[in-house]
């Protein structure tokens, strides 16, 4: 029988020892912590926040392009997740569920940040023009990457980050974003092409 849905492989392991730096290996699992929160131990939620803060924060910063907005989106997502914790059907997959909340939240922030970014991109193009005339003003590479990322359409950026930076499977990204797998693959491909193009432009100064 053909049922669409997420494949079984867990992308958000219960103990994130592989990702987070320096966390003790006897950490309680996500499922344990969620259960404790549900029985009234609010403090246990703090452990979940610490656990996921940096990783989800990374996505938010790159997606939104503004650290302040990203931290606000991240904070909102944590609070919203706490308030709707009853709806987390599978506590062992708390991370994936939280991710979905964050991806959605980043979309609504996108509108505000996009206005800022458009001004930013405008500056970048002006600077590129100026750099043509003065090699000493060559852009730092990491700045170039940030600018290139900011120039991607939100759909493309979202798909690219979730696939290549956050390492999710296409099926998982499909669940989080509501897009189909083939549409996502196309977006990732376009994102890669455009990033190459923008970086090439930035290099030829």
Residue 78 as a binder of another protein (CB under 8 A): the answer is yes
What would you report as the CA-atom Rg of the chain, rounded to the nearest whole angstrom?
19
Residue 124 as a binder of another protein (CB under 8 A): the answer is no
What's the CA gap between 185 and 182, in Å, rounded? Answer: 5
- Greatest distance between any 2 Cα atoms in the chain: 65
Residue 195 beta carbon to another protein: minimum distance, rounded to whole angstroms: 6
For another protein, the binding residue among 14, 33, 74, 205 (CB under 8 A) is: 74
For another protein, the binding residue among 9, 87, 135, 204 (CB under 8 A) is: 87
- The region of 10-18, 23-31, 79-87, 131-139 touching another protein under the rule CB under 8 A is 79-87
Residue 163 beta carbon to another protein: minimum distance, rounded to whole angstroms: 10
For another protein, the binding residue among 9, 42, 133, 204 (CB under 8 A) is: 42
Which single residue is written with the structure tokens 């990491």? Answer: 142
Residue 26 as a binder of another protein (CB under 8 A): the answer is no
Q: What angle do CA 176, 117, 63 make, to 5 degrees?
A: 20
For another protein, the binding residue among 14, 33, 150, 195 (CB under 8 A) is: 195
**Where in 127-166 is the site for another protein (CB under 8 A)?**
142, 145, 148-149, 161, 164-165
Nearest to 158 by CA among 180, 181, 176: 176
Q: For residue 81, with 0-12 CB atoms within 10 Å meaning exposed, 13-18 middle and 19 or more buried, which class applies? A: buried
Q: Which two tokens stand for residue 198?
A: 């923008």
- The region of 9-17, 23-31, 61-69, 117-125 touching another protein under the rule CB under 8 A is 61-69
Return the H-helix or E-strand segment holding 137: none
């Amino acid at each position: 029988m053909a049922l669409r849905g997420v494949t079984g492989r867990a992308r958000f392991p219960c103990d994130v020892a592989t990702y987070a730096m320096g966390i003790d290996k006897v950490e309680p699992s996500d499922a344990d912590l969620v259960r404790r929160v549900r029985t009234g131990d609010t403090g246990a939620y703090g452990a979940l926040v610490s656990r996921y803060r940096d990783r989800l924060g990374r996505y938010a910063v790159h997606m939104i392009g503004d650290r302040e907005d990203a931290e606000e989106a991240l904070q909102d997502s944590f609070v919203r997740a706490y308030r709707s914790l009853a709806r987390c059907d599978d506590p062992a997959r708390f991370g994936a569920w939280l991710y979905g909340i964050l991806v959605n939240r980043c979309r609504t922030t996108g509108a505000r940040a996009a206005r800022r970014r458009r001004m930013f991109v405008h500056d970048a193009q002006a600077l590129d023009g100026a750099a043509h005339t003065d090699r000493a003003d060559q852009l730092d590479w990491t700045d170039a990457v940030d600018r290139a990322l900011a120039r991607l359409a939100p759909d493309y950026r979202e798909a690219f980050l979730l696939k290549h930076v956050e390492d999710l499977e296409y099926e998982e990204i499909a669940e989080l974003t509501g897009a189909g797998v083939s549409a996502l693959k196309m977006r990732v491909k376009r994102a890669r092409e455009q990033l190459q193009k923008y970086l090439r432009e930035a290099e030829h100064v």
